[in-house]
Amino acid sequence: MEHLNRHLAHWQSQVAADANNATAWFNLGWWSNKAGLYTQAVKAYEGSISLGISEPEEAMSNLASVYSERLANTSMAVQWLDRALEIRPDYYQALFNRAHIAEQTGDRDLACQLFARAATLSPGDPYALARLVEADPTLSMASAAGQKLCDLAGAHVDALFGVSRLQEREGHYVKAWESLTQANEADRLKQPTWSSSQCRHQMISQLETFPLPHASSLSQQSAPVFILGMLRTGSTLLEQIHAAHPQFKPLGESEFWPREIHSLGGGMLKPGRRPSPTQRAEIKARWEKHLHERGIPVGVRVTDKRPDNLFHIATILDVLPDAKILVTERDWRDTLVSVYATRLHAQHGYATDPAAIADHTHLCHQIADFWVEAFPDRVKKVSYEALVDDPHSTLEALFVWLGEQWDPACLEFYKLNNSVRTASVWQVREPLGSGRKGRWRLYEEPLRQLFGAALDDPLPPKLLS
């Protein structure tokens, strides 16, 4: 944080000394975005462009990222990316980001077209091709994209994940699991050693030793709703369902709470220090500013969907005691396969090992059970399988718990064209159905070798000490 603030102050002073320095404005935009000062970042990047910075397409692409990823303003992001591509049609970053936005908003045809173009601009990088495979369900191993991914699989983990997706699509489940194993083992060798016991100790110690947050008696009319839990358990689906309700506005995977947790000495899966009364007031003021920057109308409730906030419920309730918490849970075996088949941030070190995934899922269940028991009026678990099997009854009861009227539009969430920035981007464009369950059975043979009889238990096993 000190390093960041030093650079930010330097470029602020450079702009103050010479307001016509386009490069200084560009660098101020870059560091402002890093510092979470998104409105300032926008003004700085726009300043660099208006002053005629060389290669303006880079500033435009960066500006678009601030709009799409930080301020949830997709239309402005598209405008700036289109301007960048008018200047330089072969600018990879702008083209890839434009494909990414098409993907986020569910425009499958445009996403496929742009990812394919991006792949031709960077033939040695398989990432655009891997995204193309996800976007285009008609692609096969025999396609040009499939062949290229196979050629790159020996040296690129992203290519291996793409190949595994095609192999699963064609029913070659043994080969698909082998590709996933090779990909995850390659990632694990590059990452810090994951300690399930350390993660568990840090979390359980806080739950056992810290005083519980003060329960609010405030009205829930405008109370924010936090959707969290183990990764790949339906949190994106649940937020999209809320987005179809007229009373809710989705924030997506907001960076607000991770930034605050970091300032309290925590991390993605590591709880930070509990904030003092003064810090709580300051964080709450920043939260309200964050909502204002995101354009949240007065009287509309927000959903903040970030799975790892499960580890930070105490801090959230300290700052926002009227908040409602929804914890998503899913069959641990389906969760395991979905996590193992997704390339996640290195901070999710458990994600490269099936046993560690199962153990981490067990920990997430423990955390959820603790908070549901402590605050049953504030924290509620939502079953993915219940959503799929009986969505109307499940959701009607959920909205009653949230103090809202049921709206049938929630069952047509898949018709929305809002921006979704998670690995579930294409799944939430499809209606609920039984095909969403039981993927783990495709890989029952290797899973049985790993877990034995524990694979038949509906509850996740605790395998690691």
Predicted confidence (pLDDT) per residue in 398-453, tens digit: 999 999 999 999 999 999 988 887 878 888 889 988 678 999 999 999 999 999 99
For residues 31, 34, 39, 42, the Cα torsion angle rounded to the nearest 10 degrees is: 60
* pLDDT value of position 211: 85
What is the longest distance spanned by two Cα atoms in the chain? 70
* pTM across the whole model: 0.93
For the beta sheet containing 301-305, the strands, ordered from the edge strand earlier in sequence to the opposite edge, are 248-252, 301-305, 225-229, 324-329, 379-383
* pLDDT value of position 258: 95
The CA distance from 41 to 34, in Å, is 9
User: Low-confidence residues of the chain, pLDDT below 70?
Assistant: 1, 215-221, 434, 463-465
Distance of CA 352 to the CA centre of its chain: 18
CB 295, CB 250: distance < 8 Å? no
* pLDDT value of position 418: 86
Task: Tell me phi and psi for residue 424, to 5 degrees.
Answer: -95, 20
